[in-house]
């Protein structure tokens, strides 16, 4: 790791201002992804602002009948929250499908959204990577691309977003609340939070410099059967090749989002509308415009089959 100075912030706005004040500064919360990357010098902050002491670790009911999840609520605590288990099961399931218990005990809600890709070319500092070093190229293009994106990728980057939780947040229409260095607050719909890579894959979210996530809110529960199905190379503790988050109602209507296929959780309202017609119709819409390589072409039939399994599970649960 490169040397860095360290401070504990006393309020969210002060934390945001502190990161703005120090060029090269970063927030640290759980640290499970940031410290991994700092050891590899993929991240090399010169100053860390520790936000763990900020009182952002509660899950609270909102006046609208939903839940406000503090940015610092740990993945284990969120998955185990009684209200989340009862009303937003897809979120509990997605969290429990991710990482290991040790990591979930540390990793936070906001940090989970902000985790970086596990593209092996991003991690290998001997390889070209536009995300790690803008303008250096993309060694994944023409490389081993079994894990890579089939939707929304660009010539600059074909990485996927690794989060399971974010896929569930997308299907639940969550919103991300932030505070900026000047103290101003804003609300970002989860659909607009993560970006596609385009020509600037190093810019992964809608956050501005110094902007701090304070909470993530869920709208009022919609009922239905909640399912998160993750397909991976091992039964546990591995990133998704493909995942499906779904909330399906008794009449067959519902919503669906995909993980493991793009630089962000993938959802398409036309696919939601096609869900009552079955997996083939919904998958066709979700995968419209997909571009594959020889290595990752398997993801297209895998999406359809995983979606079929999810819909069958929903029917048997209804």
Residues interacting with other proteins, by CB under 8 A?
A: 1, 3-10, 14, 18, 28, 30-32, 35-36, 39, 48, 50, 52, 76, 79-80, 85-86, 89, 92-93, 96-97, 99-103, 105-106, 235-237
Q: Pick between residue 45 and residue 265 the one whose CB is nearest to other proteins.
A: 45
Q: Are 171 and 151 in contact (CB under 8 A)?
A: no
CB of 272: closest distance to other proteins in angstroms? 24
Could you tell me the smallest distance in angstroms from the CB atom of residue 137 to other proteins?
26
Decide whether 238 or 308 has the Cβ nearer to other proteins.
238
State the nearest-atom distance from the C-beta of 197 to other proteins, in Å.
25
Using the minimum distance from each CB to other proteins, give the nearer residue, 8 or 291.
8
Minimum CB distance to other proteins smaller for 87 or for 304: 87
Please say which residue, 97 or 158, places its beta carbon nearer to other proteins.
97
Query: Cβ of residue 39: shortest distance to other proteins, in angstroms?
Result: 7
Least distance in angstroms from the C-beta of 10 to other proteins: 5
Among residues 29 and 300, whose Cβ is nearest to other proteins? 29
Min dist. Cβ of residue 101 to other proteins (A): 6
């Amino acid at each position: 790791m490169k040397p860095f100075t360290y401070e504990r912030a006393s309020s969210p706005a002060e934390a945001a201002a502190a990161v703005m004040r120090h060029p090269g500064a970063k927030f640290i919360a759980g640290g499970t992804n940031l410290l991994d990357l700092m050891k590899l010098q993929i991240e090399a902050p010169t100053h860390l602002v520790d936000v763990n002491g900020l009182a952002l670790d509660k899950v609270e009911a909102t006046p609208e009948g939903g839940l406000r999840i503090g940015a610092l609520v740990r993945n284990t605590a969120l998955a185990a929250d009684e209200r989340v288990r009862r009303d937003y099961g897809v979120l509990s399931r997605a969290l429990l499908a991710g990482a290991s218990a040790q990591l979930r005990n540390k990793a936070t809600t906001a940090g989970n959204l902000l985790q970086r890709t596990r593209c092996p070319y991003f991690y290998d500092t001997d390889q070209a990577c536009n995300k790690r070093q803008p303008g250096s190229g993309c060694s994944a293009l023409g490389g081993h691309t079994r894990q890579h994106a089939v939707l929304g990728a660009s010539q600059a980057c074909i990485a996927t977003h690794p989060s399971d939780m974010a896929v569930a947040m997308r299907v639940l229409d969550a919103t991300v609340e932030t505070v900026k260095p000047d103290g101003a607050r804003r609300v970002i719909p989860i659909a607009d939070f993560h970006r596609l890579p385009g020509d600037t894959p190093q810019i992964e979210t809608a956050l501005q410099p110094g902007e701090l996530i304070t909470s993530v809110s869920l709208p009022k529960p919609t009922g239905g059967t909640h399912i998160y199905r993750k397909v991976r190379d091992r039964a546990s503790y591995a990133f998704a090749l493909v995942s499906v988050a779904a909330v399906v109602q008794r009449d067959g209507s519902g919503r669906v989002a995909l993980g493991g296929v793009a630089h962000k959780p993938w959802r398409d309202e036309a696919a939601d509308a096609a869900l009552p017609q079955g997996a083939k119709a919904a998958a066709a819409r979700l995968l419209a415009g997909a571009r594959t390589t020889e290595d990752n072409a398997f993801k297209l039939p895998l999406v359809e089959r995983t979606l079929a399994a999810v819909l069958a599970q929903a029917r048997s649960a209804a």
